[in-house]
Structure 1
């Protein structure tokens, strides 16, 4: 297992956790929902401020996701192209394209 695949697995896990933490938070209002007329009911019935834990978790996971993405790109740039993708030019034989038949060739 390469380091890039480890970074990829970690990125998927952190992304999933970030989605879960964001979905658990109570809406603060004033976003897209308020522009469609739902802002007043959310502020009256819901909690105006999210808990400090969820807020810090969101920022921590977002920062971790950004760092993992940057590290995976740095790792990928340091590896260079994969060994399997290199083509040995000595093994490649190019054939000339076939010439199309002309009208003179078909009448003979």
Structure 2
């Protein structure tokens, strides 16, 4: 169970980073590079390459998230208990307890005879 908890924490962190990286990007192509004036011939510390970095980091984070999700499936403790349906197992026999039979109402012959006589 501890391995699954580690995978779960990593999935949450990577998903948060992926959200941040996607939100920083500008859908019209400007993005973070246009904030620093990277749209023209000016460059502030290589900001023109920022969109390439954000694009690649989005793909890497998305791939890493997918791998973590698939790997977490292996880490889930299956346990010895089988939670599969017994309907799929032809050898399984299940016995269900019968409900207690409710007592039938008793009819008194004297009252029945009086009811029919009237």
TM-score range, shorter chain: 0.5 to 0.7
The counterpart of 1:82, out of the listed 76, 79, 84, is 79
Offset at residue 74 of structure 1 (A): 2.2
Distance (whole Å) between structure 2 residues aligned to residue 67 and residue 22 of structure 1:
19
Task: Tell me the TM-score normalized by structure 1.
Answer: 0.57
- Rg: which structure is higher? 2
Offset at residue 66 of structure 1 (A): 0.9
Offset at residue 75 of structure 1 (A): 2.4
Task: Tell me the TM-score normalized by structure 2.
Answer: 0.53
The counterpart of 1:97, out of the listed 85, 88, 99, is 99
> Which runs of no fewer than 5 residues in structure 1 stay unpaired?
29-45, 87-93
1:71 maps to: 71
Offset at residue 25 of structure 1 (A): 0.5
As a proportion of its length, which structure holds more helix?
1
> Which runs of no fewer than 5 residues in structure 2 stay unpaired?
34-49, 83-95, 108-118
* 1:47 counterpart = 2:30: yes
* 1:106 counterpart = 2:105: yes
C-alpha root-mean-square deviation of aligned residues, in Å? Answer: 3.0
Distance (whole Å) between structure 2 residues aligned to residue 107 and residue 97 of structure 1:
20
